[in-house]
Structure 1
Amino acid sequence: MSQALFNPFQDLIFDEHFCFLSGVLTTEKMTVFPQWLMDHFKFGNERIEMMDKTKSYTYSDLTLPCSPEVKLAFEGLGTKVQAAYINGFEGMAALDEELLFQWTGRMVYGLLYYEMLYERDRLLRLGEDFVLSTALRERFGHFHLMLQSLIEPVSFVGKKPWSIVVFPLKYSSDIFSYRDDAINLMFSFGVNGFGFIACLQDNGVIGDKEKELLEKMKDHVLHPVQFEELYARFHYSDYILQYKPQFKIESEDDGITIEALPIEAKGNKPIFGFWDEDIFAQLLSNYWNVYGIEREDILKFQKPPLSFLENPYTKDFINPESIDLPF
């Protein structure tokens, strides 16, 4: 393309007068979380904390400045996802992964946007400059470019930059579960009928790592405790990933193409670092605390770590129907 696309991380532009996605001047706004989702599960008035726990917002108060074009594009995307949502797992599994990336990316980017605002304003009060490391600027800039595929001629070729898995899931009908890690660009979403996990910038390597387990899951409707464990595995794998995802980005007159380059081990340095069961058990206990399962229940002396996904001795997938826990 003859003109570079807007990148807010180049000059750290997070201003209510500029569209978060296109950078054009605007007075319009859109919610971070789709309005239909907040209405359906009635969580708009619930509060969400920022990462350092000192600031919180209601979900409905989280908004992004956007141009009319961007708002319309996300409304169109939302209509497609809402129609798929009505058809449960089959509907969501049939969606193109790029649509799920864009739909999820809206929420992850929105939360990231508020983290940026919060940090900028906090430093301003201290009389300090707001800066981001080169690595974070690059990571978030690439993520923003990928999200612009909704409105600009940005396309993905070859290997995709993400791992997105969709699976059947059993929840009580009124429960909506989601987790996010905006800094590491991760998201999970679960309702009665289906769940999905998205690592939005891992070049597919975490999905590849868990491929054997995902194959075992097929034809099973996961119990929520299994869903939480699966997300914990994806989350911790992202934490111990030792290589930065790289991309081949080419700009031509008719648009931009993005290709995720394969992540390969070099020398004696494996793709993933050491899997520390102590650290993983602590992370997992945070997700399982709703069931009263503590770290000490996960790691017991002379016993393999507790898992609801795989039998620790045979590695067989655990039938969700055999799990005697509420859902």
Structure 2
Amino acid sequence: MTQSLFNPFDDLIFDEHFCFLSGALTNDTISVFPEWLLTHFKFGDERIEMMDKTKAYKYSDLRLPCSPEVIKAYEALDVKVQSAFKDGFEGMEALEEVEIFQWTGRIVYGLLYYEMVYEKQRLLRQGKDFAISPYLKERFGHFHLMLQSLIAPVKFVGRKPWSMVLFPLKYSADIFSYRDDTVNLLFSMGVNGFGIIVCFRDNGVIAEKEKDILEKMKGHTLHPVQFEELYARFHYSDYLLQYKPEYKIEENDNEISIEALPTKLVPNRPLFGDWSDDMFAQLKANYWSVYGIEREDILQFQRPPLSYLEHPYTKDFINPESIELPF
């Protein structure tokens, strides 16, 4: 890890007076979820739970310590994304991938920051020291370095560190669907007109794994139930990934370059672990609960698992217009 930029995971610095991104001293804050998004979908007063389910925050109360420099950079990015958002899928598609990475990454990192603060305070009350494993320090430290590309001369060269898919999506205009996994660094957002899925640190291998279905999707506007199934596939594939992403990080002439390295496989250890229809069915059931679809509906005796993306026998893509579920 380069020594020239702030890395809060070196000394586990999560303090209200240090900018979450640059480390500069500050008394200012920025919302984890962009305020225009909270206003547009009116979910600021709704609550989000921490991972252990014992603590919850109002979305509008989630704020990060942030220096004026970083606030200015995010405000400029927010203006650009909000403008693209108004144009739906075509507008978002016109954005650079790194801009989507920076914008979505702020949300996921912001929630991760709150998990760190909450755990630190919980252990302090018990008289214990706050610590995380070296593996998580490296994982989160790399993610933080990549986010600093917004304000610092950090660039991505060659293979990108992420899998990112953006596609047309049919939703009612007032619906905002959001999911994340802060430990494994995943993000999904579905709104009227488009859906986004980001795996922030997989070096692109999950999108490669799912390239067949992604190719079949082209030219279609997905039904929300298909969007949830696609994210479930990405989420479960991330769980099955058996190799740690590796990077080539170089600092030259006051510029830091990050390149995702190809995975070096070892004998008898494939890139992904064995797929379990049973576990995947449970994950899909969690995401499909709004439709009343349960695990028993997905896995039935002597029948292939239920899918709204592919026909079980021909593997043809299912036309979203043929799906009669509400959206």
TM-score by length of 1: 0.99
Q: Which residue of structure 1 aligns with residue 207 of structure 2?
A: 207
1:271 aligns with 2:271: yes
Q: Which residue of structure 1 aligns with residue 65 of structure 2?
A: 65
Unaligned 5+ segments in structure 1 are none
Q: Partner of 1:189: helix, strand, or coil?
A: strand
* Alpha-carbon contact 1:19-1:66 (below 8 Å) kept: yes
Q: Which residue of structure 2 aligns with residue 148 of structure 1?
A: 148
1:233 aligns with 2:233: yes
Q: Which residue of structure 2 aligns with residue 75 of structure 1?
A: 75
Q: Which residue of structure 1 aligns with residue 54 of structure 2?
A: 54
The equivalences for 1:78-117 within 5 A come to: 78-117=78-117
Equivalent pairs counted in the alignment come to: 327
Between stretches 225-234 and 79-88, larger displacement belongs to 79-88
Q: Which residue of structure 2 aligns with residue 291 of structure 1?
A: 291
1:38 aligns with 2:41: no
Q: Partner of 1:152: helix, strand, or coil?
A: coil
Q: Partner of 1:137: helix, strand, or coil?
A: helix
Distance in 1 between residues matched to 2:225 and 2:3, nearest whole Å: 48
* Alpha-carbon contact 1:165-1:196 (below 8 Å) kept: yes
Distance in 2 between residues matched to 1:174 and 1:308, nearest whole Å: 23
1:192 is displaced (CA, Å) by 1.1
1:324 is displaced (CA, Å) by 0.7
Q: Which residue of structure 1 aligns with residue 280 of structure 2?
A: 280
* Alpha-carbon contact 1:206-1:234 (below 8 Å) kept: yes
C-alpha deviations, 1:188-209, integer Å up to 9, x for none? 0001100010000000000000
1:78 is displaced (CA, Å) by 0.6
* Alpha-carbon contact 1:2-1:252 (below 8 Å) kept: no
Q: Partner of 2:288: helix, strand, or coil?
A: helix
4+ runs deviating over 3 angstroms = none
* Alpha-carbon contact 1:159-1:259 (below 8 Å) kept: yes
Supply the AA of the counterpart residue of 1:277: D
Distance in 2 between residues matched to 1:229 and 1:64, nearest whole Å: 32
C-alpha deviations, 1:252-294, integer Å up to 9, x for none? 1221000001124221110000001111111110000000000
Q: Which residue of structure 1 aligns with residue 19 of structure 2?
A: 19
* Alpha-carbon contact 1:47-1:59 (below 8 Å) kept: yes
* Alpha-carbon contact 1:2-1:253 (below 8 Å) kept: no
Q: Partner of 1:190: helix, strand, or coil?
A: strand
Q: Partner of 1:179: helix, strand, or coil?
A: strand
The equivalences for 1:284-323 within 5 A come to: 284-323=284-323
Q: Which residue of structure 1 aligns with residue 259 of structure 2?
A: 259
C-alpha deviations, 1:218-268, integer Å up to 9, x for none? 000000000000000000000000000000000112210000011242211
1:2 is displaced (CA, Å) by 9.4
Supply the AA of the counterpart residue of 1:313: Y
* Alpha-carbon contact 1:32-1:111 (below 8 Å) kept: yes
Distance in 2 between residues matched to 1:126 and 1:280, nearest whole Å: 37
1:137 aligns with 2:121: no
Distance in 2 between residues matched to 1:50 and 1:220, nearest whole Å: 35
Q: Partner of 2:158: helix, strand, or coil?
A: coil
Supply the AA of the counterpart residue of 2:314: T
* Alpha-carbon contact 1:93-1:166 (below 8 Å) kept: yes
Distance in 2 between residues matched to 1:284 and 1:264, nearest whole Å: 31
Supply the AA of the counterpart residue of 2:131: V
Q: Which residue of structure 1 aligns with residue 157 of structure 2?
A: 157
Between stretches 86-95 and 314-323, larger displacement belongs to 86-95
Q: Which residue of structure 2 aligns with residue 219 of structure 1?
A: 219
Q: Partner of 1:16: helix, strand, or coil?
A: coil
C-alpha deviations, 1:87-135, integer Å up to 9, x for none? 1001111111000000000000000000001111111111111000000
Supply the AA of the counterpart residue of 1:130: F
Q: Partner of 1:83: helix, strand, or coil?
A: helix
1:49/1:213 CA distance change after superposition, 3 Å: same
RMSD: 1.1
